Structure 1
Amino acid sequence: MDDVEVVDRISGRVILLDPNGRALLFQGFDPQRPNQLWWITPGGGLEPGETPQQAAARELQEETSLDVQPQDLGEAVFRNYVEFFFDGRLLRQHNHFFTLRTEPFEISTAGFDALEQRTHLTHRWWTLEELRTTDETFFPEELPDLLS
């Protein structure tokens, strides 16, 4: 059996809400399990020297084109620790979630890196009711409680 690469990381993520309170989520998959789809908030791992707030702002710009200052995100509203396999690696990840309300804007995923381009299918805005009643998988699982 091959040894699995373990990656410990911290991420900054954004619960981005439109004027109607809908949350933006991206649909993606693990390249090694392309039939298992899930939805996630914008965000990603910290680069050297970044805070979770700075990473969340940078990732939001890269993944949506929305340019915000890290301080605009305020303090983290939720933190969790998750372990999951992605692209053959075990990620042990401490997530910091920030909430931001925004006016409507044209989402551009032009800033996706090669892996994101390969593993992200689409995006959409979700209502609280849709999140509470869907059979689809989304993360964090606590998202409906965070929106209510």
Structure 2
Amino acid sequence: MTDAVARAARPAARILLVDRAGRVLLFRFAPGDDRAPFWCTPGGALDPGESYAAAARRELFEETGIHADPGEEIAQRTVDFLTIERVEVTADERWFRIDVDGGEIDPAGHTELERRVMTQWRWFARDEIAGWPEWIYPDDLLPMLEATDP
């Protein structure tokens, strides 16, 4: 019999940030330990007392420099994972789609941890995602994008 891992609860807001050409913004995370680099949408954990929509708005600005209303929640999922800080969590993720014209990303609001592990970002065309050589989160990014296309 194995001991169950005690996981911390992690409410989080995640963002599908889509530009006018239908591309999605992803950040490359390089944990710097035995884990392989991966790409992920903008977003992160809620601050105490913060709503999911408020967290999406804050995370969007902190990670991209873009001010935008996140609109309505488009999806919810619960996922277990090991954070960059090596904490086992069960994340209650609420997803938002934000459509923008595109443009430059301003990393000025990145935390110290983000500056260390999130050093690359790019707008991905949809046909690049399926064959990308590094893992992209979420696994079902393409169906999520298609399901939320206007």
CA contact (8 A) 1:5 1:88 kept: no
Separation in 1 of the partners of 2:6 and 2:62? 26
Q: Give the match's secondary structure for 1:36.
A: coil
Distance 1:29 1:23 in 2: 19
Q: Decide which structure has greater strand share.
A: 1
C-alpha separation in 1, matches of 2:32 and 2:6? 16
Unaligned runs of 5+ in 1: none
1:86-101 map, 5 Å: 86=83, 87-101=85-99
Paired residues for 1:1-148 under 5 Å = 6-33=7-34, 36-68=36-68, 72-86=69-83, 87-148=85-146
How many Å separate the matches in 2 of 1:101 and 1:89? 32
1:16-36 residue CA offsets vs partner (Å, 9 max, x unmatched): 001000000000033433x50
Name segments (4+ residues, structure 1) moved above 4 Å.
none
Give the length in aligned residue pairs. Answer: 141
Determine if contact 1:5/1:89 at 8 Å carries over to the other structure: no
- Asked if the contact 1:15–1:41 (Cα under 8 Å) also holds between the matched residues in 2, the reply is yes
What is the rounded CA distance, in whole Å, between the counterparts of 2:6 and 2:118 in structure 1?
22
| Cα separation, 1, equivalents of 2:86 and 2:48 | 23
SS of corresponding position for 2:122: strand
TM-score (norm 1): 0.88
**Percent of aligned positions that are identical:** 33
Per the normalisation by structure 2, the TM-score is 0.87
Residue segments in structure 2 that go unaligned for 5+ positions in a row: none
Give the residue type in structure 1 aligned to 2:63.
Answer: E
